[in-house]
C-alpha cells in the first residue's frame, strides 16, 4: 500500500459495510495490486458540523502509527474537496458485537481467547503510550481467520501523563472517568473486565435503562454474578480483580495474560471459527 499520492480513482468501490457519525465504510479493491481493503469515507461537512477536525487528525496519527496483529491497520489516507478517505484493513467477519448478539454469550474458551488477544493488543498500544478509551464489542472486529482486531481509535489518546476528558460509552466507563477524575491506561484494563463479564453473561455488569443508575452502579462497583449461566470460579476471580475502583489495584496487562483462567482457556493462536 506504499504510495505518495492516493485518489479515489485508485480503487474499485464494492458493497456498503456500515455507517458512522461522520461517514460510511465500503469494501474496496486497490486496482493495481488487487488488494482488498475497507474504505472509510468521512464527509468534511460532518467534521465541520461537529467541529471534529482535530479528533479525526488525532485518530489518523495514532492508528497509522500502530502495527500489531490484533490492531486494525490504517494503511493510508487521502482527501478531496468534500471527503477524507481512510484505507483500512478489511476484517471480513465483522464486528464482535454481531457474533455475541447471535450466540448471546460465549463459552469460557472463546471468551478467554478474545480477552487474551485484546490484552496482547493493549500491551502493544500501552507500550506506545496509546490509551484506546472506548473498547466495546462494536469496536472489536474479526478477520477472515477469526482473529480479534481493535478498531475505531476516535477516542484514543497518546499520552504519558494522566488525562481528564470524559469519553467512551456508558456501560464501559471506569469509575475515575465517571467521576471526571484524571485517568490513565488503567481505564482500558477496567474495560477488559467489563467485556469479560459481557462475553460470559451476555450483558455488561452495571447496565441499566437509566444512565444515572448505571453511573452509580459503576461508582459502587455493584458487581453481581448470576447463578445462571454457570461460570467458573476462576473466571469470576479474573473479572473481580479487574473491576476494582482503585485503578492502581486492577490487574496489570501482564497479570491479565498470566492469570490461571486465561492460561487454561485461551487458544494461543488467537484464531477462532464460529
Q: Indicate whether 65 and 104 sit together in one domain.
A: no
Domain's final residue, options 88, 112, 134: 88
pLDDT of residue 164: 58
Q: Indicate whether 151 and 40 sit together in one domain.
A: no
Q: Indicate whether 168 and 77 sit together in one domain.
A: no
Identify whether 159 is part of a domain.
yes
Count of other CB atoms within 10 angstroms of residue 247: 19
Report the sign of the C-alpha dihedral through residues 159, 161, 167, 170, in that order: positive
Catalytic residue of the set 134, 152, 184, 188: 134
Q: Indicate whether 181 and 228 sit together in one domain.
A: yes
Residue 272: band (very low, low, confident or very high) from pLDDT cuts 50, 70, 90: very high
Identify whether 273 is part of a domain.
no
Residue 80: band (very low, low, confident or very high) from pLDDT cuts 50, 70, 90: very high
Q: Across all residues in the chain, what is the average pLDDT?
A: 94
Identify whether 174 is part of a domain.
yes
Identify whether 59 is part of a domain.
yes
13: helix, coil or strand?
strand
pLDDT of residue 2: 55
User: Does the pLDDT of residue 83 top 90, yes or no?
Assistant: yes
Q: Indicate whether 48 and 108 sit together in one domain.
A: no
Identify whether 200 is part of a domain.
yes
Q: How far apart are CA 174 and CA 38, in angstroms?
A: 31
Identify whether 140 is part of a domain.
yes
Is 188 marked active-site?
no
- Output the CA angle 71-77-79, nearest 5 degrees: 150
- Total domains in the fold of the chain: 2
Q: Indicate whether 59 and 98 sit together in one domain.
A: no
Q: Indicate whether 25 and 147 sit together in one domain.
A: no
Q: Helices marked H in the chain — which ranges?
A: 44-49, 53-64, 96-103, 108-127, 175-178, 186-201, 211-219, 233-242, 253-258, 260-265
Residue 129 backbone class (left: φ over 0; alpha: ψ -120 to 50; beta: rest): left
Q: Which domain holds residue 203?
A: 94-265
Identify whether 274 is part of a domain.
no
Q: Indicate whether 63 and 138 sit together in one domain.
A: no
pLDDT of residue 10: 96
| Tens digits of residue pLDDT in 36-62 | 999 999 999 999 998 999 999 999 999
Q: Quick one: average pLDDT of 93-117?
A: 98
User: Does the pLDDT of residue 4 top 90, yes or no?
Assistant: no
Q: Indicate whether 99 and 221 sit together in one domain.
A: yes
Q: Indicate whether 258 and 200 sit together in one domain.
A: yes
Domain's final residue, options 28, 54, 88: 88
The CATH number given to whatever domain includes residue 205 is 1.10.510.10
Identify whether 228 is part of a domain.
yes
Q: Indicate whether 103 and 192 sit together in one domain.
A: yes
* Residues belonging to the chain: 274
Core vs surface per residue 198-214: b (16+ CB within 10 A) or e: bbbbeebbbbeeeeeeb
Domain's final residue, options 65, 88, 111: 88
Q: Indicate whether 49 and 102 sit together in one domain.
A: no
Residue 273: band (very low, low, confident or very high) from pLDDT cuts 50, 70, 90: confident
The CATH number given to whatever domain includes residue 19 is 3.30.200.20
Q: Quick one: average pLDDT of 185-207?
A: 97
pLDDT of residue 116: 98
Amino acid at each position: 500500500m506504499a504510495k505518495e499520492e492516493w485518489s479515489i480513482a485508485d480503487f474499485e468501490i464494492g458493497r456498503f459495510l456500515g455507517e458512522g457519525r461522520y461517514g460510511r465504510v465500503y469494501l474496496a479493491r486497490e486496482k493495481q495490486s488487487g488488494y482488498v481493503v475497507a474504505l472509510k469515507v468521512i464527509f468534511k461537512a460532518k467534521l465541520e458540523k461537529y467541529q471534529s477536525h482535530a479528533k479525526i487528525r488525532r485518530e489518523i496519527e495514532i492508528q497509522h502509527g500502530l502495527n500489531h496483529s490484533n490492531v486494525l491497520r490504517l494503511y493510508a489516507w487521502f482527501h478531496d474537496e468534500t471527503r477524507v478517505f481512510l484505507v483500512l484493513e478489511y476484517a471480513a467477519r465483522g464486528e464482535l458485537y454481531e457474533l455475541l448478539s447471535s450466540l448471546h454469550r460465549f463459552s469460557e474458551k472463546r471468551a478467554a481467547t478474545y480477552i487474551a488477544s485484546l490484552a496482547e493488543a493493549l500491551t502493544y498500544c500501552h507500550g506506545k503510550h496509546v490509551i484506546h478509551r472506548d473498547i466495546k464489542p462494536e469496536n472489536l472486529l474479526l478477520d477472515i481467520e477469526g482473529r480479534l482486531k481493535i478498531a475505531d481509535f476516535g477516542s484514543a489518546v497518546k499520552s504519558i501523563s494522566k488525562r481528564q476528558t470524559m469519553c467512551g460509552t456508558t456501560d464501559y466507563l471506569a469509575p475515575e472517568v465517571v467521576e471526571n477524575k484524571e485517568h490513565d491506561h488503567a481505564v482500558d484494563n477496567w474495560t477488559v473486565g467489563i467485556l469479560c463479564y459481557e462475553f460470559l453473561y451476555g450483558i455488561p455488569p452495571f447496565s441499566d435503562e437509566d444512565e444515572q443508575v448505571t453511573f452509580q452502579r459503576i461508582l459502587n462497583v455493584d458487581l453481581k454474578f448470576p447463578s445462571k449461566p454457570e461460570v467458573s470460579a476462576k473466571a469470576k476471580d479474573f473479572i473481580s480483580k479487574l473491576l476494582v475502583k482503585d485503578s492502581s489495584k486492577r490487574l496489570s496487562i501482564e497479570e491479565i495474560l498470566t492469570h490461571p483462567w486465561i492460561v487454561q482457556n485461551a487458544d494461543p493462536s488467537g484464531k477462532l471459527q464460529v
